[in-house]
Amino acid sequence: MFGDKLYNNVGFPTPETIPIEVATRAFCIPGSAAWLALVMGCLMLLADEENWQVLDGGMSAEDAAEAAQAIINSGYDGTCAVESGDVPTPFWDEITDTDDEATPETQAWYGYVDDPELPPAEMTFVESAAIWAFTGFLALSGTPAAAIAFNTVAQDFVIAMRGDDPAEVIRVIIDGVQHAEIDTTDMVDELIEVSIFGDPALSSHDVLLVKVS
């Protein structure tokens, strides 16, 4: 990718740069200290500069190991160690606004709830973009209890989501009241639309989408 290797079968190839943008992946690891230690131990290989091979155009082994250590640290504290770029909005008002973005520091759309099975009034939303990944302007999370929260001034609106494989169950909660529970079984790549007719006595509406499974 970056030229001929100096030595064969020695170390990981160092990337050229450390992009400002970040991406996340949620792995389902068996829930024991032994398995967590094994997975994190494998990742720790990247934090040792001796395990890197500098290719033509690649960064130094020291810089690559330092970046790897910051990435590993983010797995423990739940934050993105590298300063993130803009994150796509989970909504738009017009088709021409689909590429609206904001930095994670100034938006609070993406996160999770403490328990996706609780009644809406008892849920606690915790802001965290770290468990989400973004492909184009599609937000993805494999984590149960993942949630998207936002406020809209529209009185009547449509919530649209795409069915995925594996199937998901998603709760649609508006102003603290559950309006729908969507089961996406057998709806892979289908557009699922939920029409919402808000209380006209309210000037805006709080929307919470919660992934149950």
- Is 143 a residue whose pLDDT tops 80? no
Cα angle for residues 146, 25, 158 (degrees, 5° grid): 40
Among 54, 77, 100, give the residue marking a domain's end.
77
E strand segments, the chain: 12-13, 52-53, 87-88, 101-102, 110-113, 125-127, 133-135, 138-140, 146-152, 156-162, 169-174, 177-183, 191-197, 205-211
**Is 131 part of a structural domain of the chain?**
yes
CB 159 within 8 A of CB 207: yes
Residue 82 has pLDDT above 50, yes or no: no
In a domain? residue 7? no
Task: Give 172's pLDDT tier (boundaries 50, 70, 90).
Answer: very high
Are 114 and 203 part of one and the same domain? yes
| Residues spanned by the domain of 155 | 87-211
Residue 4 falls inside a structural domain? no
Q: How confident is the model at residue 142 (pLDDT cuts 50, 70, 90)?
A: low
